[in-house]
A and B are shown apart, each in its own frame.
Chain A
Amino acid sequence: MKQWKKVMSAAMVTAMTVGMLAGCGGNDKNEGSSGSSGNSESGEAVFKIGSIGPVTGGAAIYGEAVKNGAELAVKEINEAGGINGVQIELNFQDDENDPEKAVNAYNTLKDWGMQALLGTVTSAPCVAVGSEAMNDNMFLLTPSGTAVECVQGENAFRVCFSDPMQGVESAKYISDNKLASKVAVIYDSSDVYSTGIYNSFAAEAKNTGIEIVAAEAFTAESKTDFSVQLQKAKDAGAELVFLPFYYSEAALVLQQAAGMNYAPIFFGCDGMDGILGVEGFKAENAQDLMFLSPFTPTSDDETIVKFVTDFEAAYSGTPNQFAADAYDGIYAIKAAMEKAEVTPDMSASDICEAMKTAMTEITIDGVTAKGLTWEASGEPSKEPMVVKIADGDYAVVE
């Protein structure tokens, strides 16, 4: 038996060595290209934009959306003549929502000759990749990494709101509009995004005089049953329940609340966007649900209508905020590249240097905001809208 194992292992080692060498071989090619110029397979000069996010594993919904949104934008730009006449090539790599895999994906893209990065989609991987990108001086624009640390480096920017910003804005909105004085929070204590918003919401609640009567958690391991959290909120007399997490879980929460005849005001964050797009979801369960969002697919704004129609035609499904962020992200990269007048033969580091400043000078009218600009800190300047669901449709609350 043993000898066969040896044969196997010998074969494996050989296979791996070949694999490594193959990897090296690929690198030799790329070193030429990433060092001096970006070239497509056909030899024509292109801008190589990489993107990273989870397309397998539990967070695959978000990565998938970003991938589609980015692909759509790249297609449009290329059809319209590219960036200063240069086409874009997009390469999307899977990170399974794991920081370690995200760094592997980043290195894969580097070997490919990436010149700017749109990513990563989720927060924890984004922090890990961010530190690598900072060392390499690689331009990084995350469509949806909300944690504060995601944009630590000077090279890093984001399209979405940050966690503290959402928590603070939500608390302010609730107190300014006197929606409720007694608030319950249900959050995912195993998730960076959810806990981040909850923490800043709790801090701001103290300042605005909102009383948090119940703060109940769930985890990735126990997110089927929310009856206890809802019952506690009900027993504590909460007039409003704050739900800082994603719509796939929220769909269950709302359904269970309806099942127990509990109807407080439900208030969510940008992760709530897309809830009406969940196949088979009963919209009456989300009646009067409010949430902060930068993007509403039902808006009659021209840019948004075009984006939504094209997206639905290409990917069978309504785009959510992740897709919208990615779409704007690609256009922001385009604008910054045009502003910085970079050329595809420049190295990633030189491009980054030029784009760093250009990012703070551009203004884009995207689908997530009009007149979107960036500060040197990497934060976008955009106002969140409050969206309310009425009769199975999103409506912006003025």
Chain B
Amino acid sequence: MKMKAMNKTTKTNFITYLLVIVIYIVVQTLVMSGSMSSLMQGLLVPLCAYVILAVSLNLTVGILGELSLGHAGFMCVGAFSSAFFSKCMVDVIPSAGLRFFFALLIGAVTAGVFGILIGIPVLRLKGDYLAIVTLAFGEIIKNIVNIMFIGKDANGFHFSTKDAVSLGMEPDGVIIVNGPQGITGTPKDSTFTIGVILILITLFIVLNLIHSRSGRAIMAIRDNRIAAESVGINVTKYKMMAFSVSAALAGVAGVIYAHNLATLTAQPKNFGYNMSIMILVFVVLGGIGNIRGSIIAAIVLTLLPELLRGLSDYRMLIYAIVLIVMMLYNWSPKAIQWRKKYLYFLKFKVEEEV
């Protein structure tokens, strides 16, 4: 019995990895043969970032069972810390690969540390109160990033939270972080291949965590905290573990995001609660706790508005309607019943969720 269960999880995980690899090969072939539009090529790297975000948030929402509305905040931390590093080191480390590797480490570690720091107060709360506090932290991070001015000249680094003038820099100084204008001119080190490798690493970390002893402890806490506590599970430790890993992975996504565009700004659109909610949409649409579903939902929902560009003025309207309809189709008990009744011929083999 136990053996069989093991095999099944291994198989499910294997399919997930395979899905990513197959998509990668197909896409690479299309790119090589030159039959992929510029739009699609431009979307590849952001897609990787969103997939990682969705998978990492699923760890918090699906496995740990806590609603986080501040995930974009961790992404923001990862993005800005790594972009700051890359911008400073662009002359010191000429090799893009090596520089990106260090940037990645810095982004992930900083976001992970923030995850721990924020997790300490946040994880004491429950339910919607926890959600609102994560939202609050996300907004605080965005606000602070927006008023940060950091410059560098012969005398070293200068820091101000007021304006560029009060940095008091020498004339030869360079402003690295320029308030709301953020960081301009980050080297474009993200590539699709790196993105896919990072997705695989993320999947490896998350799937292994889920199926490890710690993962079972985390899910036990999700299903019944009191029961879990009474059998001697250290609730705080495991909650913190899931939360900080999730934060660090969001940081990784931030690193990819930051090294893809020439400009990095913290706007409500990309690092505010809007983005946090968008990531949550990926997770819920893909199925809470379903890692493969998150990947697919992230891809579908990122491509959708781009594919709707032909509709010009009605684009976002149609997007909203499609989102509502997909949610109803996927989640409504009535719709599920209807599908069972009339679409039985499409029936695939039954599979248990994680």
Contact = CB atoms under 8 A, between A and B. Distances in A.
Contacts of B224: none
Interface in A357-395: none
Contact of B36 (A27, A198, A220): A27
B43 A104 contact: yes
Contacts of B185: 131, 149
A3 B347 contact: yes
Given A4-B339, A97-B267, A131-B262, A13 B296 contact: yes
A221 B268 contact: yes
Given A9-B293, A13-B296, A108-B309, A1 B261 contact: no
B173 to A, nearest CB: 13
A128 interface: yes
A192 B181 contact: yes
A283 interface: no
Given A12-B300, A16-B300, A149-B263, A190 B180 contact: yes
B36 A24 contact: yes
Interface string A4-27: 111111001101100110011011
Mostly, the B contact residues are: helix
B181 A147 contact: yes
B46 A100 contact: yes
B42 A107 contact: yes
Interface string A90-102: 0011101111100
Interface string B259-270: 011110101111
A101 B30 CA distance: 23
Chain A interface: which size bin?
35 or more
Chain B interface: which size bin?
35 or more
Interface string B34-78: 111111111100100000000000000000000000000000000
B184 interface: yes
Nearest to A126: B263
Given A24-B30, A56-B316, A111-B39, A195 B261 contact: no
Interface stretch (A42-50, A69-77, A199-207, A254-262): A199-207
A96 B269 contact: yes
Contacts of B306: 104, 108
B40 A24 contact: yes
Contact of A195 (B163, B267, B287, B336): B163
A178 B268 CA distance: 39
Given A3-B349, A28-B35, A219-B146, A104 B343 contact: no
B351 interface: yes
A3 B23 CA distance: 21
A19 B307 contact: yes
Contact of A5 (B30, B179, B287, B307): B287
B303 interface: yes
A174 interface: no
B133 interface: no
Given A8-B329, A97-B269, A103-B42, A2 B309 contact: no
A356 interface: no
A93 to B, nearest CB: 7
> Which residue, A147, A195, A215, has most C-beta atoms of chain B within 10 A?
A195
B186 to A, nearest CB: 10
Given A7-B346, A103-B42, A98 B163 contact: no
B346 to A, nearest CB: 5
Contact of B163 (A4, A124, A199): A199
18 contacts: A5-B290, A5-B293, A12-B296, A23-B37, A30-B37, A56-B316, A108-B39, A108-B309, A111-B37, A124-B265, A127-B263, A190-B267, A192-B265, A195-B180, A198-B163, A202-B163, A203-B165, A221-B139
Interface of B: 30, 34-43, 46, 139, 143, 146-147, 162-165, 179-182, 184-185, 188, 257, 260-263, 265, 267-270, 287, 290, 292-293, 296, 299-300, 303, 306-307, 309, 312-313, 315-316, 329-330, 336, 339-340, 343, 346-353
Q: Which 5 A-B pairs have the closest CB atoms?
A: A131-B262, A27-B37, A107-B42, A127-B263, A107-B38
Given A24-B35, A124-B182, 7 more contacts: A1-B336, A2-B351, A4-B343, A99-B261, A123-B181, A190-B268, A220-B267
